[in-house]
């Protein structure tokens, strides 16, 4: 990257343009999303603070003197060496600091953009306006009394709005900080490697890994956030998945303990979801996509793919053996024409499935055995989970250097900040198979 162009862009307040970052800002002034031109990413990955320093005509001694000048010890050192720090001599150092801060932010965003967010496969994103949980009104209407042919002069029934809302959970703050010392910058001998870049990559990975893990914990019922029509607060009042009908508004079944070994099991899941009605108006039948999601361990992928081919071939309702040839015959399978997706969950953290969880009422969910985790499957509509955010997917900041930071020769310090949460929006569309009951 050309330092002169970067310096000019930064001095004119076009930091994002300098590093190829395009941001979308909402009405509230918060950045909602960002995108980096893929063609710029290789340049970002090959640029280092030491290159900036050299191209700006700075030397290690000048950076060191600048740090020393901020402390009493430093002033003594500069006086002894006869050095003098003026406003003009500080300009290159200020440019170095600004460009390093911009480079770090761009490198974090580039690495974030290169990683795959698993939650985008089953969540849609919304914006929060407060840190705490709040109500989201949902559609509900009732007819009282039941609709019937009207006699002459008889009053028509009224359609009224019923109280129906979803509580979101409070926003959660996650943050990671990084710092770069003068020694680490000087150790970058040839200018082609950088601790800054490594830190940026690690920070982006860790924040997104945490996001993926939290999303999967909700997706697989390891945490439960479903909260509907709670009068006083946003405490969850139902498990995400239920094998028996709940009371009141929680009148749904969306889970089973059957392994996906026969087409009868798949048919049963279809009819289970089809029986779920709207929580307020029983006249409204819920629709759902015919999407089967299989979350498997890598060592089970081959067996799963054989199973998938048999399902797609509409094998007759017999055991789905993974060792015999596909036997195509007539079958009244209700799931003709549905989509099948296979996911390797270990990429996002195997412990998500094998670690213990917590029910909505605080009781513990026993850890799943690995053998059980390898059998998890879902039948659902897309994006019935919600990622609720109050800040952009990733916010990076550079921090001013003061006090002990200077005495430790820290030339750059920054952090990555993330404020969001995941919420179950409507569990009646989702079926979870081969999973021990949480009730």
- For residues 376 and 343, give the distance between their C-alpha atoms in angstroms, rounded to a whole number: 10
Angle at 352 between CA 376 and CA 107, to 5 degrees: 120
- For residues 115 and 108, give the distance between their C-alpha atoms in angstroms, rounded to a whole number: 11
pLDDT by residue (tens digit) across 390-428? Answer: 765 566 666 666 667 777 878 777 788 888 889 998 899
- For residues 1 and 236, give the distance between their C-alpha atoms in angstroms, rounded to a whole number: 50
Residue 169 CA: distances (Å) to CA of 172, 216, 228, 233, 421: 9, 16, 11, 10, 7
Residues ≥6 apart with Cβ < 8 Å to 280: 140, 141, 142, 162, 164, 249
What are the tokens at 347?
A: 């990429």
pLDDT by residue (tens digit) across 93-121? Answer: 677 777 888 888 888 888 888 777 788 88
pLDDT confidence band for 227 (50 / 70 / 90) = very high
Tell me, what's the pLDDT at 435? 60
- For residues 320 and 290, give the distance between their C-alpha atoms in angstroms, rounded to a whole number: 20
Shortest CA distance to 135 belongs to which of 233, 223, 280, 219? Answer: 233
pLDDT by residue (tens digit) across 291-330? Answer: 888 877 666 677 777 777 767 665 444 455 544 444 444 4
pLDDT confidence band for 61 (50 / 70 / 90) = low
Percentage of the residues of the chain whose pLDDT score is greater than 70: 72
> What pTM was estimated for this model as a whole?
0.79
Angle at 151 between CA 148 and CA 155, to 5 degrees: 80
Residue 247 CA: distances (Å) to CA of 200, 244, 250, 278: 49, 10, 5, 14
Q: Is the pLDDT of residue 143 over 80?
A: no
Tell me, what's the pLDDT at 402? 66
């Amino acid at each position: 990257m050309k330092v002169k162009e970067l310096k000019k862009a930064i001095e004119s307040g076009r930091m994002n343009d300098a590093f190829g970052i395009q941001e979308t800002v909402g009405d509230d002034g918060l950045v909602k999303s960002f995108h980096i031109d893929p063609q710029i990413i290789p340049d970002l990955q090959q640029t280092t603070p030491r290159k900036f320093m050299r191209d700006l005509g700075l030397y290690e001694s000048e950076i060191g003197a600048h740090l020393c000048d901020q402390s009493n010890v430093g002033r003594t050192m500069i006086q002894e060496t006869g050095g003098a720090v003026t406003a003009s001599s500080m300009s290159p150092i200020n440019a170095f600091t600004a460009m390093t801060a911009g480079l770090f932010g761009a490198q974090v965003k580039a690495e974030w953009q290169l990683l795959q967010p698993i939650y985008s496969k089953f969540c849609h994103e919304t914006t929060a306006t407060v840190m705490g949980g709040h109500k989201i009104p949902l559609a509900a209407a009732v007819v009282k009394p039941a609709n019937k042919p009207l006699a002459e002069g008889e009053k028509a029934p009224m359609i009224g709005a019923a109280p129906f809302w979803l509580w979101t959970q409070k926003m959660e703050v996650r943050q990671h900080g990084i710092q770069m010392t003068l020694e680490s910058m000087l150790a970058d001998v040839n200018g082609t490697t950088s601790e800054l870049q490594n830190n940026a990559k690690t920070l982006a990975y860790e924040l997104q890994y945490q996001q993926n893990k939290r999303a999967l914990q909700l997706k697989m019922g390891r945490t439960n956030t479903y909260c509907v029509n709670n009068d006083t607060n946003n405490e969850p009042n139902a498990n995400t998945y239920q094998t028996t009908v709940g009371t009141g508004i929680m009148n749904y079944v969306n889970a089973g303990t059957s392994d996906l070994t026969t087409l009868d099991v798949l048919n049963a899941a279809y009819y289970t979801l089809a029986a779920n009605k709207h929580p307020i108006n029983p006249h409204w039948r819920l629709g759902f996509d015919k999407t089967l999601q299989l979350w498997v361990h890598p060592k089970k992928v081959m067996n799963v793919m054989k199973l998938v081919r048999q399902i797609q071939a509409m094998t007759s309702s017999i055991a789905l053996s993974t060792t015999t040839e596909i036997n195509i015959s007539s079958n009244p399978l209700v799931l003709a024409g549905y989509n099948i997706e296979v996911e390797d969950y270990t990429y996002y953290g195997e412990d998500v499935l094998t670690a213990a969880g917590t029910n909505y009422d605080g009781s513990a969910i026993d850890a799943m055995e690995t053998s059980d985790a390898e059998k998890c499957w879902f039948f659902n509509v897309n994006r019935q989970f919600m990622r609720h955010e109050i800040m952009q997917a990733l916010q990076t900041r550079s921090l001013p250097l003061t006090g002990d930071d200077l005495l430790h020769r820290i030339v750059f310090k920054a952090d990555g900040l993330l404020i969001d949460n995941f919420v179950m929006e409507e569990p009646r569309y989702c079926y979870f198979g081969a999973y021990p009951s949480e009730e």
